[in-house]
Structure 1
Amino acid sequence: MDWEERIRAARETGLRGLLLALRSLGVGLPLVIATVISIALVPLGVGFWLTPRALGAVRRFADEQRERGRSWSGVRVDRPYHGPVRGLRPLGQAATWRDLLWLVLNIPIGTALGLVPVALTAWSALGLVIAPVAVAGGAEGEFWRVAVGIGLVTLATLVILAPAILELHALFSAALLSPARRDLEERVDRLEEIRADALDASAAELRRIEKDLHDGAQARIAALGMTIGLAEQLVRSDPAKAEALLAEARDTSGQALADLRRLVRGIHPPVLAERGLVEAVRALAVVLPVPTTVDADAGVRAAAPIEAALYFAVAEALANVAKHSGAGRAWVTVRAPGGCLVVEVGDDGMGGADAPSEGGLAGVRRRLGTFDGRLVVASPRGGPTVLTMEVPCGS
C-alpha cells in the first residue's frame, strides 16, 4: 500500500470510526436496556410479545457488524443462528447469549476503538491545519508550535495504523459473533446425517419412479405393442377386428401418455416451475376436498430445489388433512422472515398427529433436512393441528 492509499484509508478510518462509535453507544445501549426490560417482563406476559422483537433487533445489529467487519477489514463472520426469531425459542440458543455479551462489551470497546481514529484525525487537523494558520496570523505561545509536532506524529500514527484499528474491532466481534466450536461440530454431524438422508431419499425416489414406470406407462406401452401386432395380423383376414384393436391401441396410448404426465408432475409440477411456490400451493388447495385458504407474503420466492421441497411437503400435509384430520377447514401461510422461508399448514380437525420415524411426515422431515430445514408438529388432542416448516434461504 503506497502513501496515497494509506492517507485515503486514514481518512476513511476517521469517518468509519465516528460511525462505529455512534452506533456502538447510540444503538447498543438502548438495545441492551430494551432487551433486559423485555426479558424481565416475560413473567407478566407482555415480555412474550416484546422479547422476540428485542432479540430480532439485536440479531440485526449483530448482522450489521458482521457485514462491517467483512467490508471494512475483510474479516468474515458466519451466522450461527438456527431459524428465525420466533417466541422465546432464541433464548435457548447459545448464539443469542453470545450476541448479548457482545452487545454489552461492544458499548465501551466499540466506542473507544471508534473514537481513536476520530481523536487522531482531530489532533492531525489541529496540528497541521489550525496551528500553522494561527502561527501565521500572529498567535503567540509555545502550544501552537508544539501542536504542529503533535499533528505530524498523530498523522503518521493514523496513516500507519489506520487499517489495524478497525480490524482489531472486527476481530473482537468475530470472537463472540462467530459460531462456537461445539456448534460447528454439531453442524458437521448434522450435515453428515443430512447427506445420508438425502442419498436414501434419492434412492427411494428413483425406486418410486422405476416402479411407476414399470406398473404404469411401461406396461401400457408393452400392451400397445402387442395390440398393434395383433391388429397387423388381422388387417387382411378380419378388417373390422383389426380396426377395433387399433381403436383400443389408441386409447392405451392415451392412457400411457397420461401416466407419463402424472409421473412428470410428481417429479416437478409445471405450475411450480412456471409460477412459483405460492401459486403451486394455491393449485393444491383448489382441488382439496377440505376448504383451504392460502395466505402468503408478496413476492415470496426461493431457489427451485427449496421451493420443490416445500411444495411436496405441503402436498403431503394437505393430503393428511383430507385423509385423517376430519377437519372442516384448513389453511396455509407462507412467510419469509429474515433469511428463512416459513410455511405453516393448519387444520381445525381432531388433532393427535405426530411425526413418526416412518411414513409421510417422516419423509417430509427428511426432505426439509436436506436443506438444513426443520419440521415442527403441534397437534394436541382435539386440535387444531399446525405443521411448521422452516428452511433457510438466505445468508
Structure 2
Amino acid sequence: MRLPDRARTRIRDAVYLVREGGYWLVSLSLLTAGVVLLPFLPLGIGLYAVPTLLDVLDRFAARAQDRAATFSSAVIPFDRRRLTGRYSFAELAALLSAPETKRDLSWLLFHGAFAVLAALLTLALPFGAVLYVVAAPLWQLFPPEAPLELTIFVRNWGDAFLMMLLGGVYAAATWVLLPWLARRFSGATLAILSPRRYADLARRISDLSAARASALAAHAAELRRIERELHDGAQNRLVGVVMMLGLAQRAAETDPAAAVPFIGRAQDAATEALAGLRAAVHDIYPPVLDELGLGGAASALTSRSPIPTSLNVNGLLRAPAAVESAAYFVLAEALTNAAKHSGASRIDVVLRTETTSREDVLVILVNDDGRGGATAAPAGGAQAPADANGSGTGLAGIARRAAAFGGRLLLSSPDGGPTNIRVELPCAF
C-alpha cells in the first residue's frame, strides 16, 4: 500500500471516530431521558413514553450499526425490528424486556462511555504532535522570565529537542493507534447490536415457520378459489352443454329442424365454458408473464384500470417465475381494491428491484389519492373499516401472499388519504 493510500485510510479512521464522538451528545440525551423516565415506570405513567423513546433509540442504534458496517465493509445479515402502532401495557412491558431493547441499551451505555473518549484521543494525538514539533523550535522567541511551556519549560535546544521527540511519539501513536481504535470501536458496535447466533437462528426458524404457515394458507385459499371458479363457472356451463345436446338429440328423432336451436344454445354454453376455463388457467399463472414479463403484464393491468393509472418500471429486473406471479396478483388485487373502495381520481404504480446486502427484493408501490382509511385486517375483524380500500379481505390477502414469500405489506392510509401500499417480495425466497 502506497503512503498516500495509508494516509487516506488514517483520515478515514479519524473521521469515523470524530463523527461517533459528535453523536455522543445524542447518546447522553437518551441516557438522561431514560434515567428521568425510570422512576415513573413502576407507576405505569412512564410506559406511555416508552414507545417514543424506544423508537428513537432503535433508529439511532440502526444508524450507528449502518455506519459501523459501512466503515468495516461488513454485511448485516438480519433485519432490525420496526416499532409502529399503539401498544398495551403488557406489550410495552414486553418491549422493555425484548432482546433487541437489551442490545440497544447495552450499546447506548458503551457509546456514551467511550465515544467521546475515542474522539478526544483522535483529536488530541495529532494536535499534540503538530504542536510539539512546530512550537518547540520557537523557544528563543520567548523571554527568559516567561519561557515556552509545553510538557516542560523549554529554555534551550536540549529541551526543544526533547519536546520535538515527544511530538514524534505522538505522531507515531496517531499513525498506529487510530486504525486499531477505529476497528475496535466499529467491531464492538456490530458485536453489541447483532443478535447472538442462537437468537438469530431461533428468529429465522420462527420466520420460516410463519412463512410456511402463510404459504400453506395461501395455497389452500387458491385451491378453494379455483375449485369455486370451476364448479360455479365451467362445470355448470358444461352441464348445460350436455343438457342442450340431450334435448337436441331427442328433438332430432322427431323433428330435425327443432334440434337446431338446442345445438346453438349448446355451442354458446360450450364457448362460455371454454372462456371460464381460460380464466381459471389465467388465474393460476397468467400466460402474459411468459410473453411480456412482469413489466408488460403490469402495463396490461394498469391499462384496464377504470381509474387513470401511471406505471413506472424503471429499475425492474427479472425475478423467479413464482415471485413475478405473486407480484402480478398483488398488483391486480391492489388495483381492484382501489377501484372498488378508494374513490381515487389517480393511481401511481411503481415496480422496481431493490438490491440489499442479503438479496434482491421486488418492490410493488401502489399509491392513490382516495379517501384513505384502509386496513389489512381481515373482514369482520376488530379493525376492519366500514368504508376503506381494505374492505373485505383484499389487503389481508395481499399480506398473506407476501408473507408466503418471506415478504411484507407496508400500508399507510390515514383518514382522508392518500393510501400508500408497499409490498416487498424477496427474490431469493
Unmatched 5+ stretches in structure 1:
287-292, 334-342, 347-360, 375-389
Are the equivalent residues in 2 in contact too, given 1:41–1:47 (CA < 8 A)? yes
Query: In the alignment, does 2:110 pair up with 1:105?
Result: yes
Residues of 1 paired with 2:406 and 2:45: CA distance?
Answer: 35
Residues of 2 paired with 1:196 and 1:29: CA distance?
Answer: 43
Give 2:16's aligned residue.
16
* TM-score (norm. length: structure 1): 0.63
Please, which of 246, 252, 258 is the counterpart of residue 264 of structure 2?
A: 246
Unmatched 5+ stretches in structure 2:
143-147, 149-154, 287-297, 306-326, 353-360, 367-373, 410-421
Q: 1:42 to 1:267 in 2, by over 3 A?
A: farther
Residues of 2 paired with 1:147 and 1:39: CA distance?
Answer: 50
Q: 1:229 to 1:203 in 2, by over 3 A?
A: same
Give 1:90's aligned residue.
95
TM superposition shift of 1:63: 0.7
What is the CA deviation profile of residues 265-318 of structure 1, one whole-angstrom value per residue up to 9, with x for unaligned ones? 6989956859687655444546xxxxxx99xxx99999668889xxxx968812
Please, which of 383, 386, 395 is the counterpart of residue 330 of structure 1?
A: 386
Q: What secondary structure, in the 3-state scheme, does the structure 2 residue paired with 1:330 have?
A: coil
Please, which of 174, 192, 197 is the counterpart of residue 176 of structure 1?
A: 192
Residues of 1 paired with 2:141 and 2:4: CA distance?
Answer: 30
Are the equivalent residues in 2 in contact too, given 1:217–1:257 (CA < 8 A)? no
Are the equivalent residues in 1 in contact too, given 2:136–2:164 (CA < 8 A)? yes
TM superposition shift of 1:122: 1.3
Residues of 2 paired with 1:61 and 1:251: CA distance?
Answer: 65
**Equivalent pairs, count:** 333
Residues of 2 paired with 1:281 and 1:136: CA distance?
Answer: 85
Give 2:61's aligned residue.
62
Are the equivalent residues in 1 in contact too, given 2:27–2:112 (CA < 8 A)? yes
TM superposition shift of 1:51: 1.7
Q: 1:133 to 1:70 in 2, by over 3 A?
A: farther
Q: What secondary structure, in the 3-state scheme, does the structure 2 residue paired with 1:317 have?
A: coil
Which segment drifts farther, 217-226 or 7-16? 217-226
Are the equivalent residues in 2 in contact too, given 1:124–1:155 (CA < 8 A)? yes
Are the equivalent residues in 1 in contact too, given 2:230–2:277 (CA < 8 A)? no
What is the CA deviation profile of residues 219-263 of structure 1, one whole-angstrom value per residue up to 9, with x for unaligned ones? 3675687699888997xx846643553245335534653575478
Query: In the alignment, does 2:9 pair up with 1:6?
Result: no
Residues 257-272 of structure 1 correspond to what in structure 2 (within 5 A)? 257=275, 261=279, 270=301
Letter paired with 2:196: A
Give 1:193's aligned residue.
209
Are the equivalent residues in 2 in contact too, given 1:73–1:166 (CA < 8 A)? no
Letter paired with 2:271: S
Are the equivalent residues in 1 in contact too, given 2:407–2:424 (CA < 8 A)? yes
Q: What secondary structure, in the 3-state scheme, does the structure 1 residue paired with 2:23 have?
A: helix
Residues of 1 paired with 2:78 and 2:110: CA distance?
Answer: 19
Which segment drifts farther, 241-250 or 88-97? 241-250
Q: 1:328 to 1:202 in 2, by over 3 A?
A: closer
Q: What secondary structure, in the 3-state scheme, does the structure 1 residue paired with 2:62 have?
A: helix
Residues of 1 paired with 2:98 and 2:350: CA distance?
Answer: 27
Are the equivalent residues in 2 in contact too, given 1:281–1:314 (CA < 8 A)? no
Residues 43-192 of structure 1 correspond to what in structure 2 (within 5 A)? 46-77=45-76, 81-86=80-85, 87=87, 88=92, 89-128=94-133, 130-131=134-135, 134=138, 141=156, 142-192=158-208
Q: 1:329 to 1:18 in 2, by over 3 A?
A: closer
Are the equivalent residues in 1 in contact too, given 2:234–2:277 (CA < 8 A)? no
Identity of aligned residues (%): 17
Q: 1:249 to 1:363 in 2, by over 3 A?
A: same
Residues of 1 paired with 2:130 and 2:219: CA distance?
Answer: 70
Q: 1:162 to 1:305 in 2, by over 3 A?
A: closer
Q: 1:211 to 1:240 in 2, by over 3 A?
A: same
Residues of 2 paired with 1:151 and 1:121: CA distance?
Answer: 9
Residues of 1 paired with 2:211 and 2:376: CA distance?
Answer: 23
Give 2:27's aligned residue.
28
Letter paired with 2:33: A
**CA root-mean-square deviation:** 5.0
